[in-house]
Amino acid sequence: MKVAIDGPAGGGKSTIARMIAENFGFLYINSGNLYRAVTYLALQEDVCWQDSQAMIALVQRHHFDYRPDGAVEVDGKLLAGELRSPQVDAIVSQVSAIPEIRAQVNSIIRSISEGKDVVSEGRDITTVVFPDAEIKLYLDASAEIRAERRFRERLAQKVSDIPPRIEDIRKNIEMRDALDAQKTVGALKIAQDAIYLDTSDLTIQQVYEKVYKILRARIAHGRK
Ligand code: CDP
């Protein structure tokens, strides 16, 4: 079974996807982590992200894999905190707008997911990567709330010695929202058959309860 979740940054996708993966024993595929890993490698190896050919070659020279918790390994090495740096945040949406990079990422995700129960989240999972997913969700929240959530997350993660500023986070989220909406391929859209949830006034537990009921009903229906 495939569960596909899309939505903007801070909508709660990764937390909910992780809870589904843990409780239902699904593999968790965080597609944003793969775009972040490609972006991180470009920064590390001094590859100019505007040079599509060099970016394609960069993806081809590395091996990408997922751990069951959605974390990404590159050439067998776990990448975690380094994927959440302000430097990666600043250009990941531009990197993910390159159609050839999207095609490479999608093919890695599909090949890792083949024949497995998977919960995958991102921007185009319900529309492009798994258009036939049995369950499609779109998790939304106001930009204000999403920035606040991301701020608290970054404070807890301590990814850098410089403390995060909510104003910078809000600006970055708004910039990425705008870029995600404009993408020529893989733009963030609400799929016609997706269940839309506004999580602005809900706790994670409340969102999960709704999602859990949807999954249970769908699984029971599938067994009839
Ligand atoms: O965690 P957050 O929602 O901030 O972002 P992410 O899921 O880590 O994704 C990072 C960026 O990659 C997003 O801002 C999108 O621009 C891009 N992305 C995408 O284009 N398509 C996806 N399926 C997933 C992410």
pLDDT tens digits, 21-31: 999 999 999 99
- Residue positions counted in the chain: 224
| Interval between CA 9 and ligand 1 midpoint (Å) | 7
224 has pLDDT over 60 = no
d(CA 10, CA 29): 17
Nearest 5°: CA angle at 139, between 134 and 145?
Answer: 170
Question: Quick one: pLDDT band at residue 3, thresholds 50, 70, 90?
Answer: very high
210 has pLDDT over 60 = yes
Kindly list the structural domains of the chain, giving each domain's residue range(s) and its CATH number in brackets, ordered by start. 2-211 (3.40.50.300)
**Residue 187 class from Cβ within 10 Å (0-12 exposed, 13-18 middle, 19+ buried)?**
middle
The residue whose C-alpha atom lies closest to atom 6 belonging to ligand 1 is 32
pLDDT tens digits, 75-131: 999 999 999 999 999 999 999 999 999 999 999 999 999 999 999 999 999 999 999
**DSSP-based three-state secondary structure for 64:** strand
| Interval between CA 122 and ligand 1 midpoint (Å) | 6
To the nearest whole percent, how much of the chain has pLDDT over 70? 99
The gap from C-alpha 69 to its chain's centroid, in whole angstroms, comes to: 13
The residue whose C-alpha atom lies closest to atom 2 belonging to ligand 1 is 9
Hey, which of 176, 185, 189 would you mutate to test ligand 1's pocket, going by the most ligand atoms within 8 Å of its Cβ? 176
pLDDT tens digits, 40-60: 999 999 999 999 999 999 999
Place of tokens 């993408």: 183
**DSSP-based three-state secondary structure for 129:** helix
Overall pTM surpassing 0.85 (yes/no)? yes
